[in-house]
């Protein structure tokens, strides 16, 4: 079966719609959303409406909308955008975010927003060996898909325990789940930070065990215009043009 796995939409409706168009052209499959549906961009209600029937899990921005004492976690720009988001969200949308699970398990893989050792704490999996090691140990399935950093990457642990980082994400990658474990960051639909301004998601095929990173263009100008009209911090819309 084909899975289209996306994360960190952050209220960016233009990016989400473009992603869904690309997915539709690629045929049928299951869409899984790894959290942070809201925060930063200006269409939180519309984005929730579009993804509410997919398999979604909770991100830290989704969590903070409901648990406002957590707003202290965020930097000034993110907090400003979240307060704006809270002021615009319809009640039923807040309820939807509140009820999202932290983790979902599928036959051959698990999804979580941050890390699997403490899903409700939203820790980051970056390059730290210690954090990678405990995550690989805690994984019950051989494949873990995450979001949160907005940075697409793949970490592999082979059967000798050696952990490596895959840099070429441009071609399809076959997963050797008989001997290796994988932590796959699917990047961000709505606010990429790897220097590529195009949105990003992953197509995962659990029959031939392969993944493919899919990049897509969207109308950044339109997204930014809405942010300007709503007095969002300048840094938050300028970054969309450079993907940082
Ligand atoms: Zn995020």
Q: Is the pLDDT of residue 147 over 90?
A: yes
Q: Taking the model in full, what pTM does it have?
A: 0.97
Other Cβ atoms within 10 Å of 226 Cβ, number: 17
Q: Is the pLDDT of residue 180 over 90?
A: yes
Ligand 1 geometric centre to CA of 179 (Å): 31
Ligand 1 geometric centre to CA of 170 (Å): 22
Ligand 1 geometric centre to CA of 121 (Å): 14
* Residue predicted with more confidence, 170 or 164: 164
Ligand 1 geometric centre to CA of 182 (Å): 21
In this prediction, residues 231-243 reach a mean pLDDT of 97
Ligand 1 geometric centre to CA of 159 (Å): 32
Other Cβ atoms within 10 Å of 114 Cβ, number: 24
Ligand 1 geometric centre to CA of 34 (Å): 10
For residue 171, what pLDDT is reported? 83
* Residue predicted with more confidence, 28 or 228: 228
Ligand 1 geometric centre to CA of 187 (Å): 9
Q: Is the pLDDT of residue 168 over 90?
A: no
Ligand 1 geometric centre to CA of 190 (Å): 9
Using a CB cutoff of 5 Å, list residues around ligand 1, an ion: 8, 36
Q: Beta strands of 101-198 (E only): which ranges?
A: 103-105, 109-112, 143-146, 153-157, 163-166, 173-174, 181-185
Ligand 1 geometric centre to CA of 186 (Å): 12
DSSP 53: T
Q: What is the pLDDT of residues 54-89, one digit of tens each?
A: 999 999 999 999 999 999 999 999 999 999 999 999
Kindly state the tokens that stand for 42: 């200006």
Q: What is the DSSP string of 180-225?
A: -EEEEE---SS---SS--SEEEEEEETTTTEEEEEEE---HHHHHH
Ligand 1 geometric centre to CA of 124 (Å): 11
Of the pLDDT bands very low, low, confident and very high (cuts 50, 70, 90), residue 140 is very high
């Amino acid at each position: 079966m084909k899975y289209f796995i996306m994360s960190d939409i952050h209220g960016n409706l233009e990016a989400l719609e473009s992603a869904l168009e690309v997915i539709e052209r690629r045929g049928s499959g299951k869409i899984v959303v790894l959290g942070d549906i809201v925060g930063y961009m200006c269409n939180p209600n519309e984005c929730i409406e579009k993804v509410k029937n997919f398999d979604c899990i909770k991100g830290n921005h989704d969590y903070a909308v409901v648990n406002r004492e957590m707003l202290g976690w965020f930097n000034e720009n993110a907090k400003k955008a979240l307060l704006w988001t809270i002021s615009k969200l319809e009640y039923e949308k807040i309820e939807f975010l509140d009820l999202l699970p932290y983790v979902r398990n599928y036959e051959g893989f698990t999804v979580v927003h941050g890390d699997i050792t403490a899903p409700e704490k939203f820790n980051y999996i970056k390059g730290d060996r210690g954090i990678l090691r405990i995550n690989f140990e805690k994984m019950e399935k051989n494949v873990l898909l995450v979001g949160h950093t907005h940075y697409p990457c793949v970490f592999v642990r082979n059967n000798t325990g050696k952990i490596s980082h895959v840099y070429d994400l441009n071609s399809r990658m076959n997963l050797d789940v008989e001997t290796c474990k994988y932590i796959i960051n699917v990047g961000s639909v709505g606010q990429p930070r790897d220097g590529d301004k195009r949105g990003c998601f992953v197509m995962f095929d659990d029959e031939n065990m392969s993944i493919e990173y899919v990049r897509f263009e969207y109308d950044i100008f339109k997204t930014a215009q809405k942010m300007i009209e709503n007095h969002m911090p300048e840094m938050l819309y300028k970054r969309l043009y450079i993907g940082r």
